[in-house]
Amino acid sequence: MTRPDWWLAEDGPADTVLWWIILILLGFGLIMVYSASAPIAQHETGNPFFFAERQGIYASLAAAVLYYTSRVDLDFWERITFPLMGISLIALVMVFIPFVGVSVNGSHRWINFLIVRLQPSELLKFALLLFLARYVVRKGELLGRIKEGLWPIFVVLGLLGLLLLLQPDFGSYAMVVLLTGVMLFLGGLPLGYVLLAGIVSGSALGILAVSAPYRLARITTFQNPWADPYGAGFQLVQSLIAFGRGGVFGVGLGDGIMKYFYLPESYTDFILAVIGEELGMIGVWSLAILYGVACWRIYRVGRRAAAAGDAFFALFCYGTLTWFGGEAVMSMGVNLGALPTKGFALPLISYGGSALVFLCAALGVVLGVSRRYPAVPKGAGVIREELQNG
């Protein structure tokens, strides 16, 4: 039986180190989700394995997606860029349709598919990487012109901002802006435009942040959460207590107490605090090292693609690096009190299906790129120059 044209694996082995780190993080995440969620699952459902069982399904699906996307012919991704972007926009609208969209705590971020829920903002991040990479490759020489090069991007950002902020999903839109800025800069956008766009975007996000009382409270209290330990600073105070209890070596896997209804979102946004309590700073630093090595490997794959003149997949790799590394840094920063308290899942660790699956889809494409470009060609130059020349 002949395989379809899009199912044509590239020759050569994928990046083995990156493969193993992703699988280790998925496995470790499954263990920590069980440890962090067992008390809540027992209380709410009578089954301490409730969330862990679902995370096991999500992790298995994500691992399958990782494998298959790493084997798909790379040209397939360029062909589906615009259809996938269209699907993601439709999905963002569907969250507002009654009986289709799901509202949780006043947020409309999910689509209900009977037994599973899809979070369209995670699909959007994957589709946006493909869209921006293709746009920069096609319009790279026009990025310095507002009307021809940047105006379409402004329209897209405005539309995405409207759809995401209506949900509301402030964190996802911040990531969309970050991804766009990084990929346009690497694609050749003049530095002055980048700085101007950063000032404008930062000001707009700042206005949005202070326009809602709960967002303003998060920004003002993270600097001194003890000023309101039972109100706006409650989550961060409990997180810091967890790290303090863990010390250097931790109290032992499964032996933490902060997950017993003291620490909100203990198996999602604040799972790092549970890791810090049970495995100590040794566990947190080990996790940070794994993230750092994974980011370095993703960078090397993008570097090889750029040096070989493949600007599309070089940009995709750098965008994936920004997504993966950016969310890891922001999640850790929030848990440690270095950033305002805002929901950011810890990549490949926190509970949730959509984030796992679509991030693994992007990482799978990176692994596919590593098959095509096993080494950096001699004479490789500056990244921006390579991308523009490619």
pLDDT in tens, 21-47: 999 999 999 999 999 999 999 999 999
User: Which residues contact residue 45 at a Cβ distance below 8 angstroms, ignoring those fewer than 6 apart?
Assistant: none
Six token digits for residue 209: 């942040």
Q: C-alpha angle with apex 228: 223 to 232, nearest 5 degrees?
A: 80
**Alpha-carbon distances, residue 256 vs 42, 266, 275, 375 (angstroms):** 16, 11, 9, 45
- For the stretch 180-207, pLDDT in tens is 888 888 887 777 777 777 777 667 666 6
Q: Side chain identity at 158, as an amino acid letter? A: G
**Distance from CA of residue 124 to its chain's centroid?**
11
Q: What is the dihedral of CA 137, 142, 147, 152, to 10 degrees?
A: 10
Calculate mean pLDDT across residues 255-268.
92
- Specify the pLDDT at position 116: 75
Nearest to 177 by CA among 152, 151, 204, 137: 204
Given a cut of 50, whether residue 1 has pLDDT beyond it is no
pTM: 0.91
Nearest to 369 by CA among 306, 327, 323: 306
User: Which residues contact residue 228 at a Cβ distance below 8 angstroms, ignoring those fewer than 6 apart?
Assistant: 221, 234
Nearest to 218 by CA among 341, 335, 338: 341
- Specify the pLDDT at position 222: 73
- For the stretch 65-111, pLDDT in tens is 999 999 999 999 999 999 999 999 999 999 888 878 777 766 778 88
Calculate mean pLDDT across residues 318-345.
90
Calculate mean pLDDT across residues 329-349.
89
Helix spans in the chain (H): 16-45, 50-71, 75-79, 81-94, 120-139, 151-166, 170-186, 191-211, 213-221, 234-246, 271-307, 311-336, 353-372, 383-389
Q: Under a CB-based contact definition with an 8 Å cutoff, are residues 150 and 143 in contact?
A: yes
Nearest-angstrom CA–CA distance, 301 and 22: 15
Six token digits for residue 105: 């705590």
